[in-house]
Amino acid sequence: MKPLGEIMSSSITGFLAEAWADSDVPLPGFGGFVAATSQEHGIDVIGVVFDVVTGPQDNLHKPTALRMTREQLKLEQPHIFALLKTELHVAICAHKRGKSIVCRLPPYPPSVHDFVYPVGRAELAQLGDSLDFLPLLMRVSAVPQDELLASCLHNIASVRNDEYDFLVGAGRQLSQLYRNDYDTLTALLRKIRPSST
């Protein structure tokens, strides 16, 4: 799998990655899964994107309103896009030990400048075999929990052959996790409802 960017800062619970502007690898969106391979520690860390931010490369080149469409800007001032960067904010939810995915925090964080990759379909489907990573994502406070959990569950469901059964099972597990928070649980169950119901 080809990398899409590299880590700019990291901790045991998450990392910030800068996407390469010239990469042809599609960026995962909100609730998408990415992996970072730490050469230093020999660990593959898996996380969920909870925010995508595009902004200036530095404090000297801040964007200003130019009253032009993106198409006009690309034709008349293409250099403007070189002054921007896109960052992925990622919450770590698992790591790989050999070929097995372990749904808990890794013993070491990935290192700065380690490459970041989209998680492949097979690994994504394997993540759905055990949803033990959900409590880790429930600790992400920067975005609404129900939106993040629903998005990542739909991403996993989209690569599985048992999409309907998977989402029903995920609903059961969420019912246990949110048994004391009826409002959040209700919102979540509505958002993950299988499309065939």
Reported as a single tens digit per residue, the pLDDT across 33-60 is 999 988 888 889 999 999 999 888 877 7
Structure tokens at 21: 């502007």
Q: Is residue 166 part of a domain?
A: yes
For residue 58, being part of any structural domain is answered with yes
Average pLDDT, the chain: 91
Q: Each residue of 172-183: pLDDT tens digit?
A: 999 999 999 999
Question: Would residue 98 count as lying in a domain?
Answer: yes
- The reported pLDDT for the residue numbered 69 is 87
Per-residue confidence (pLDDT) for residue 89, from 0 to 100: 98
What is the spatial distance between Cα 144 and Cα 11, in angstroms, rounded to a whole number? Answer: 22
Q: Is residue 136 part of a domain?
A: yes
In this structure, is residue 127 part of a structural domain?
Answer: yes
Tell me whether residue 169 is in a domain. yes
Q: Total domain count for the chain?
A: 1
Q: How far is CA 141 from CA 20, 102, 130, in A?
A: 27, 23, 23
Judged by phi (left if over 0) then psi (alpha if -120 to 50, else beta), residue 42 lies in left
Query: What per-residue confidence (pLDDT) applies to 81?
Result: 78
Domain hosting residue 86, numbered range: 5-192
pLDDT in tens, 147-195: 999 999 999 999 999 999 999 999 999 999 999 999 999 999 999 987 7
**Prediction pTM value:** 0.89
> What pLDDT, on the 0 to 100 scale, is given for residue 197?
47
Residue 59 inside a domain? The answer is yes
Residue 68 pLDDT: 80
d(C-alpha 194, C-alpha 45), whole Å: 29
Measured distance CA(191)–CA(167) in Å, rounded: 10
Q: Is residue 197 part of a domain?
A: no
